[in-house]
Structures are given as C-alpha cells and as structure tokens.
C-alpha cells in the first residue's frame, strides 16, 4: 500500500498515537469527538507519493467509538529507509494559528525514520494488523512503487488520555515525507477536537 499506508499510519500516529504517548500533564477524557475532518495534498507537483482519497466517517467521529475509513494513493518510487517525516502541528488561538512545539516527541516534530517507528509499532515478523492483513497490504519498509487502496473498513477508537493542550480546539497538521533530503509527498489534515 506504499504511500497510502504510510500516510494513513502517519495520520493515525499524529492524531491518535501521539495523544497516548508519555506526557507529563494529562486530562482524563470520558468522551471526545473529532469534527470537520478534511485533508489535502500539499506537496510539489512532481512529488512521487500522492494521496488520492481518504474518507473517514461519521462526522463527528466519537472517541470511544467506531470509525469507517477508506484510502487510496500512489507512489512512483519505492519508499525505503531512512524515510523521514516532518510534522507541523498548529492550533488556532484567538483567530491566529500557533505552531505547537515538539515536546516528548509530540507536536511539531521531526521523525528521522518512519520505518523504525513502524518496526516499533509492529515488530518485524509479526502479521500486519487488520484490516491490512486481510487485504494483503504491507506495514513495513520498503513499500514498493505502485497504486494502493484500502477498501472501506471498520476501526474501533478506544478511550484516550489527551494532553491538556489537545482537548478542545481547531487543529492543522502537516506531514512531509522525505528520503535523503528529497521530498516524496506532503499531506495536510484539518480538524476540531471537542472533549468532555
């Protein structure tokens, strides 16, 4: 699934996994919802990795709750280690977009090799998680050049302990995928998070 899988995993990492990382200050959240999810490619016209579609429903997305997701994309080059990801996370404060700094590997951070991150999440030799396994989609580098798609699939989002700065607000997240200082693709996501 190449760029699609990596970009979907990156999006999941930024929006879901980062909020479960080791953060000093947390708020117990019993219910949260994600509203107005949207995305766009933000790369150069000649970037080899492009997301063609990314659909999430329902809107709002409830946490905890079920999510339906589908995605498709293409990469004209193999995605190999080191596969860097530069993340820029911004929060709207009084009508101004403010960059959230990188703290404890959360926020606007540089990840030197997403392949290593994938190996930590899914140890090599272990089957890829569902629904990737069912559809024969890879979850480790290298990702071969080609077109990839994830049919509409169901996911369960469990309760999360959100950092205090990621509880209520409007957010923009941009991720730039690269290899050896060459940009391979860029994805921008916008959403609002509301918690109780």
- Give 129's contacts (C-beta < 8 A, 6+ positions apart): 122, 139
Residue 134 CB contacts under 8 Å (≥ 6 apart), including other chains: none
Amino acid 162: pLDDT: 67
Is there a contact between 41 and 175 (Cβ–Cβ < 8 Å)?
no
Put simply, whether the predicted model's pTM sits higher than 0.85 gets the answer: no
Kindly state the DSSP code that residue 114 receives in the 8-state scheme: H
pLDDT tens-digit series, residues 149-164 = 999 999 998 887 767 6
Question: What's residue 177's pLDDT?
Answer: 96
Torsion sign across C-alpha atoms 98, 101, 104, 110: positive
Residue 169 has pLDDT above 50, yes or no: yes
Q: What is the pLDDT of residues 96-120, one digit of tens each?
A: 999 999 988 888 999 999 999 999 9
Phi, psi of 90 (to 5 degrees): -125, 145
Q: Which DSSP string corresponds to 99-113?
A: EPP-BTTBSS-EES-
Instruction: Tell me the CATH number for domain 2-195.
Output: 2.70.220.10
Distances from the Cα of 2 to the Cα of 62, 83, 116, angstroms: 28, 12, 15
Pairing relation of β-strands 84-93 and 161-163?
unpaired
Residue 30 is predicted with a pLDDT of 56
- Going from the C-alpha of 83 to that of each of 31, 53, 112, 176, 183, the distances in angstroms are 35, 22, 7, 10, 10
Please give the helix or strand (H or E) that residue 3 lies within, else none.
Answer: helix 2-12
Q: Is 58 helix (H, G, I), strand (E, B) or coil?
A: coil
User: Could you state, in order of their start, the residue ranges of all structural domains in the chain?
Assistant: 2-195
Cα distances from 52 to residues 4, 73, 74, 102, 188, in angstroms, run 8, 5, 7, 29, 13
Tens-digit pLDDT profile for residues 179-194: 988 999 999 999 999 8
Asked if 174 and 190 touch (Cβ cutoff 8 Å), the reply is no
pLDDT at 173: 96
């Amino acid at each position: 699934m190449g760029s699609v899988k990596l970009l979907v995993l990156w999006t999941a990492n930024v929006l879901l996994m980062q909020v479960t990382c080791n953060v000093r200050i947390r708020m117990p959240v019993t219910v949260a919802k994600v509203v107005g999810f949207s995305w766009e490619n933000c790369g150069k016209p000649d970037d080899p990795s492009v997301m063609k579609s990314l659909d999430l429903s329902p809107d709002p997305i409830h946490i905890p709750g079920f999510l339906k997701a589908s995605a498709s994309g293409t990469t004209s080059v193999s995605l190999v280690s080191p596969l860097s990801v530069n993340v820029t996370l911004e929060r709207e404060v009084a009508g101004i977009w403010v960059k959230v700094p990188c703290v404890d590997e959360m926020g606007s951070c540089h990840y030197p090799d997403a392949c290593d991150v994938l190996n930590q999440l899914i140890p090599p030799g272990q089957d890829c998680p569902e629904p990737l396994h069912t559809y024969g989609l890879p979850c480790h580098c290298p990702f071969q050049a080609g077109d990839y798609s994830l049919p509409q699939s169901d996911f369960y989002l469990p309760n999360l302990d959100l950092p205090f700065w990621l509880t209520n607000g409007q957010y923009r997240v941009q991720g730039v995928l690269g290899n050896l200082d060459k940009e391979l693709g860029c994805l921008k996501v916008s959403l609002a998070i509301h918690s109780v």
